[in-house]
Structure 1
């Protein structure tokens, strides 16, 4: 349904705002929609995870995995974490687009001095080390309504008592759902035997061409290549003798290009057919385009 990303300085009051927003959304949203919160605290990620990059990277990975697991069409998922890196907010945005969810960002604002004061007053083991807090304050990348992954953006300063729950609800209920693009779509995977079929079928086509050429004595023209008892393909050959080395060179080029599509995935959204007859026809077309008269 929707993903709400919370962003702000450490100890800026994000969890307090999330509690306010969650309570109000549960009254505003239709009954079939649930509101869930995923946070560092719910995942048992301690503030010390932000002390150094070696600990922070797996912590962000655990948060992102939880986000992907909890996203659903009947759920408004609120991500209560620092989310201070714009690249991570973009990663969350892409995951939401892949699931065809509406998105919005809530920027909880507080002054650095207030954050230091509130951090020092924490007694529940959720306080940041002073040097870690200062590092996070410096590294914070402020959300911007000018970029698509932060918009629509709702800013809640520390001076306001509540959150604009009605406006946020309207955004996640009636905002545009942006379709996945090629950057967020998972690549279509080739079958496990695709490499074998590619190699063996192209070898069979080369062998069949050499036999057909011997039968026609190099006269060229349209010939039928019997690749198996159930598969025949047609190719127009030039009126000259083709050498085995020439055909093998073109076969290697064809296999190399298509091997990359198999191993890395394809952007053709599943349109590639790796069946024997499809590979044979593709190779025949490739040969007709590259064989010199």
Structure 2
């Protein structure tokens, strides 16, 4: 359904805002006037994953921690869930990665930027008694590396800013964003790319060779008259092809075959998102190669 990215300095009050958002959304979902789909609101955070704040002390420990957060996020994303990601989310590349994952699942998205001055964050961090404070050096490093969300980029939009002095969050705007916001369709950059089967090249070579041989045989029998011709490849494969009214040479057909195979090798290696499928069945190869020959053989 949707997910909300919380971003802000360490110890800026992000978890408090995440709880406020969760409460505001659940209140609207339970309202008798709400007639939409049944949804649940969940918060995913470093705490729910039991990630100690010490993981941010070095890039060596932070990278797998971000990976664990991203994996858990993918597991919990769904059409029946509004997921709130309560973490630092201070790297714009990571926010973009989450955006791509949400777009692939056709989810609505928004970002909530919790704005608190660094000196207040530092004070709150030092006063924490729950064992969830950051080491002073780590805290300063995270402040320095923080990449501020921007409403100008698509992966942070729509962006809602909540100041440390605000008593509440913009609940109405967030609700509208996650229930009525634009659902962006997956694009080539976010779609999973299907690959051809392992025997695709073998099938491609054998089938095109069989067609070339069949054309040469039919041409010899018809004295090169051309026109609509049925190729008897197998008991079940008997495609019709319109041949030019001239004698086709074996070298000419072989050249067309090599060009056709070369074109389709790229699809085998890279895959394709055309109609969401890659079809290298014998029937599909026959159909494609026959059409290719009809379009490319000189009259």
Per the normalisation by structure 1, the TM-score is 0.88
Aligned to 2:35: none
Unaligned runs of 5+ in 2: 32-37
What is the distance in 2 between the residues matched to 1:132 and 1:248? 66
What is the distance in 2 between the residues matched to 1:128 and 1:246? 72
Q: Cα offset for 1:237? A: 3.3
Aligned to 1:210: 216
What is the distance in 2 between the residues matched to 1:279 and 1:212? 20
| 1:258 equivalenced with 2:248 (yes/no) | no
Q: Cα offset for 1:239? A: 4.8
Q: Give CA-to-partner distance per residue, 1:9-55, whole Å, 9 cap, x none.
A: 12211112112222232222247321101112211233333333333
| CA RMSD between the two structures | 2.4
- Range 213-222 or range 7-16, more displaced: 213-222
Q: Cα offset for 1:194? A: 3.6
Aligned to 2:21: 21
What is the distance in 2 between the residues matched to 1:223 and 1:168? 64
What is the distance in 2 between the residues matched to 1:122 and 1:200? 71
| Number of aligned positions between the proteins | 293
Secondary structure of the residue that 1:226 maps to in structure 2? coil
Residues 1:188 and 1:123: Cα distance change in structure 2 (over 3 Å): same
Residues 1:30 and 1:190: Cα distance change in structure 2 (over 3 Å): farther
- Range 211-220 or range 130-139, more displaced: 211-220
Q: Select the residue among 177, 199, 202 that pairs with 2:205.
A: 199
Tell me if structure 1 keeps the 8 A contact 2:231–2:239.
yes
Aligned to 2:11: 11
Q: Cα offset for 1:208? A: 1.3
| 1:93 equivalenced with 2:99 (yes/no) | yes
- Range 279-288 or range 72-81, more displaced: 279-288
What is the distance in 2 between the residues matched to 1:280 and 1:291? 16
Q: Give CA-to-partner distance per residue, 1:134-179, whole Å, 9 cap, x none.
A: 2222221211222222222111111122222233223222223333
Secondary structure of the residue that 2:232 maps to in structure 1? strand
- Range 86-95 or range 7-16, more displaced: 86-95
